[in-house]
């Protein structure tokens, strides 16, 4: 499988990061979102990131221009007819993802791999929306994508060895480190991380300590680079809630019940850094 062109769906936090590392590795990238303005916003973020690299002397102006010339903006999933792999990074919602994969199945060439950057949703169920479940796989990047080394690669029930191998090879070509996991709710990363974040929100909700104190305890006491409430703001509180709901539904255990305070913040539109306010306020 010789992959040269990629489509990234969703130009938000994750999609723009994934698109950036693909373009930097020399892939032609169709960056897709619902509206042209969302695509342009994502491209703006990428351009700013690259400019920072130029300022730091890690990249020349010419190299930056070369990377930017690898992008093709897209608002039509039919553009997937040109690519060898699609990496979907739209919202964490099964209905939305199933609809996207069903449509991609119609347009993408038969040999194309359909990957999802889902944080927690079953790859096997996403694959069931297509007639090519053997070519559907999870490719779970970490946030912020240009910085974080890990990509969790999730095999659905039907994912073929050939597809797994191609995705592992591509991950390495992006200078990332692949780790193989099986398809269970939250995979490894979010099954371990998200209950900790949810518990931190419960400690705030129950008045055990202030948000600053909770973050400080986990930073200084556990040597975490950032506190769990700050991390939740970075991930996006809507995404955190979707993941907790997936764990709760998937395992049916009360220990995964999303904290009511998390639900309240999401209802208020306090989604974390991306909306300007979550547990903390951002400019
Ligand atoms: P985000 O809210 O920043 O971006 C989502 C983007 O998808 C938005 O630009 C939205 O307009 C677009 N979108 C929604 N529906 C679409 C559709 N039908 N077609 C095309 N574009 C569509 O969300 P974020 O944080 O980038 O998350 C995206 C995915 O990545 C989710 O599945 C999430 O669980 C996963 N993820 C998130 C991480 C995080 O730290 N935020 C880490 C790893 C995975």
Confidence of residue 74 (pLDDT cuts 50, 70, 90): very high
Answer whether 10 contacts ligand 1 (Cβ < 6 A): yes
> Does the predicted TM-score (pTM) go above 0.80?
yes
Is 272 near ligand 1, meaning CB less than 6 Å away? no
Show the domains of the chain with their CATH numbers. 5-182 (3.40.50.720), 190-273 (1.10.1040.10)
* Per-residue model confidence as pLDDT tens digits over 112-131: 999 999 999 999 999 999 99
Q: State the pLDDT at residue 270.
A: 98
Residue 1 pLDDT > 80: no
Q: What tens digit of pLDDT does each residue of 232-272 get?
A: 999 999 999 999 999 999 999 999 999 999 999 999 999 99
Q: ipTM above 0.85?
A: yes
Q: What is the mean pLDDT of residues 18-28?
A: 98
Is 121 near ligand 1, meaning CB less than 6 Å away?
Answer: no
Q: pLDDT of 180-220, one tens digit each?
A: 999 999 999 999 999 999 999 999 999 999 999 999 999 99
- Residue having the nearest C-alpha atom to atom 44 of ligand 1: 119
- Distance, in Å, from the CA atom of 70 to the CA atom of 81, rounded to the nearest integer, reads 17
Confidence of residue 149 (pLDDT cuts 50, 70, 90): very high
pLDDT of residue 2: 78
Calculate what percentage of the chain has a pLDDT beyond 70.
100
Answer yes or no: are the C-beta atoms of 190 and 198 closer than 8 Å.
no
Question: Which of 7, 9, 11, 12 has the most ligand 1 atoms within 8 A of CB, as the residue to mutate?
Answer: 12
- Token pair, residue 108, equals 């993408």
Residue 216 and residue 213: Cα distance in Å, rounded? 5
Question: Does ligand 1 come within 6 angstroms of the Cβ of 67?
Answer: no
Using only C-alpha atoms, the chain has a radius of gyration, in whole angstroms, of 19
Main-chain phi, psi angles of 88, to 5 degrees: -90, 130
What local confidence, expressed as pLDDT, does residue 283 receive? 85
Q: How far apart are alpha carbons 247 and 255 in whole angstroms?
A: 9
Detail the residues annotated as belonging to a binding site for NAD(+).
10-15, 33, 92, 97, 119, 143, 274
Q: What is the pLDDT of residue 4?
A: 96
User: CA 39, CA 89: separation in Å to the nearest integer?
Assistant: 13
């Amino acid at each position: 499988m010789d992959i040269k062109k990629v489509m990234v769906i969703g130009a938000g936090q994750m999609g723009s990061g994934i698109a950036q590392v693909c373009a930097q590795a020399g892939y032609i990238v169709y960056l897709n979102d619902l509206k042209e303005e969302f695509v342009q916003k994502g491209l703006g973020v990428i351009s700013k990131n690259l400019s920072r690299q130029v300022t730091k002397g890690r990249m020349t102006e010419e190299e930056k221009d070369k990377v930017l010339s690898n992008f093709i903006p897209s608002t039509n999933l039919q553009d997937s007819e040109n690519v060898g792999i699609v990496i979907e990074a739209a919202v964490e919602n099964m209905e939305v993802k199933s609809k996207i994969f069903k449509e991609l199945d119609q347009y993408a060439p038969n040999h194309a791999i359909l990957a999802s950057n889902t944080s927690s949703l079953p790859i096997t169920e996403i694959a069931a929306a297509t007639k090519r479940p053997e070519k559907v796989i999870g490719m779970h990047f970490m946030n912020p994508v240009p910085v974080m080394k890990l990509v969790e690669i999730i095999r659905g029930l039907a994912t073929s060895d050939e597809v797994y191998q191609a995705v592992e090879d591509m991950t390495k070509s992006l200078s990332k480190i692949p780790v193989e996991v099986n398809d269970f709710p939250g995979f490894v990363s979010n099954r371990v991380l998200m209950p900790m974040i949810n518990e931190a929100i419960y400690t705030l909700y129950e008045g055990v300590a202030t948000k600053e104190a909770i973050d400080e305890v986990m930073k200084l006491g556990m040597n975490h680079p950032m506190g769990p409430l700050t991390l939740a703001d970075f991930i996006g509180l809507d995404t955190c809630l979707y993941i907790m709901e997936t764990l709760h539904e998937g395992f049916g255990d009360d220990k995964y019940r999303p904290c009511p305070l998390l639900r309240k913040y999401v209802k208020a539109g306090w989604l974390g850094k991306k909306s300007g306010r979550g547990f903390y306020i951002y400019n």
